[in-house]
Amino acid sequence: MGSPYLSYVEECMRTKRFREATIKTYRHWIKRFILYNCKRHPSKMHNAEVERFLSYLANQRNCAPQTQATALNALVFLYREVVKQPLSLQLDYRQSKRQPKLPVVLTEAEVATLLQYLSPPYLLLAQLLYGSGLRKMEALRLRVHDIDFDYANIAIWDAKGGKHRRVTLAKRLFEPLQQQIGVARQYYERDLKIDDYAGVSLPHALERKYPLANKQFGWHYLFPSQSLCHDPNGGELRRHHIHPTAISRAIRQSSRRIGITKHVTCHTLRHSFATHLLQRGADIRTIQAQLGHSDLKTTQIYTHVINMGADGVASPLDSL
């Protein structure tokens, strides 16, 4: 039987229209925090216990800085929105210092071979990950009207950090995308005939501003799931997008089938997009904008994997 308190915390997050992935992640860290403190109720704890838990993640668990930051965000939400006793802005804890991993990058030949072993709709998804540098969830959450054929770009809304951007669209994907839009329309027209169909889910603010948009085709997902499901926020019957594990599994299996020894994930295609643009002489600021990075230092990590070696230094061994 699940924890009534954690269920209540989940409900608070759903009321605030948090994404399901965020709800799952925050619940995980709040549960770990409670277990670490011998199941004491959060209302009986505060800054000191949070500081010890975050230091434990750095010292004993050797968590990455991003992981520790996610745990902190979960606890900030818990104490601000649920316990109603916000944490101090000056928490004193040991911050994780583990160095980030270098990105895994495929060669252009490896990307081409990988794509040959994928079938629709995963082929088109992978082509968008590599051809436009999208994150996995950015590709899965694409709506039909996000594709701009006139200017060959894709609108990415409410991405990581709540940012919007436009990215390049390969012209060779025009025809496959038109075909995928046709597939999405078939699902759409079929769903409209179902009495209980409540339309596609929308961000809360848009749902209030455009109350009829949930049944307009342009707002529907470009990569719809094969089956309808009930929305966890309100129980309405809707059609969501393809599940993230499906595309992850397809890419992983394809890479194994063709014998790639590198650890290949959906994000590997995004890494490869950035690295191959650098190799072709693209300006790093342009790549930063395409990837949606706030800090240029995040983008500069790709300079470490180009053919000439770290920071563009050629090895003296090559001249012997």
Kind and range of the H or E run holding 51: helix 47-59
CA distance 87 to 208: 32
Catalytic residue among 17, 160, 262, 263: 160
Give DSSP secondary structure letters for 270-314.
Answer: HHHHHHHHHHTT--HHHHHHHHT-SSHHHHHGGGGSSTT-GGGPP
Query: What helix, strand, coil percent values describe the chain, rounded to 5?
Result: 55, 5, 40
Q: Which residue type is seen at 286?
A: T
Annotation says 165 is catalytic: no
Catalytic residue among 19, 46, 267, 304: 267
Annotation says 302 is catalytic: yes
Q: Which residue type is seen at 161?
A: G
| Beta strands across the sheet bearing 165-168 | 147-148, 153-156, 165-168
Catalytic residue among 130, 188, 221, 302: 302
Catalytic residue among 136, 220, 270, 271: 270
Peptide bond into 121 cis (omega under 30): yes
Catalytic residue among 28, 31, 46, 135: 135
Annotation says 190 is catalytic: no
Annotation says 135 is catalytic: yes
CA distance 172 to 151: 14
Annotation says 160 is catalytic: yes
CA distance 181 to 86: 46
CA distance 182 to 124: 14
Residues annotated catalytic, as ranges? 135, 160, 267, 270, 293, 302
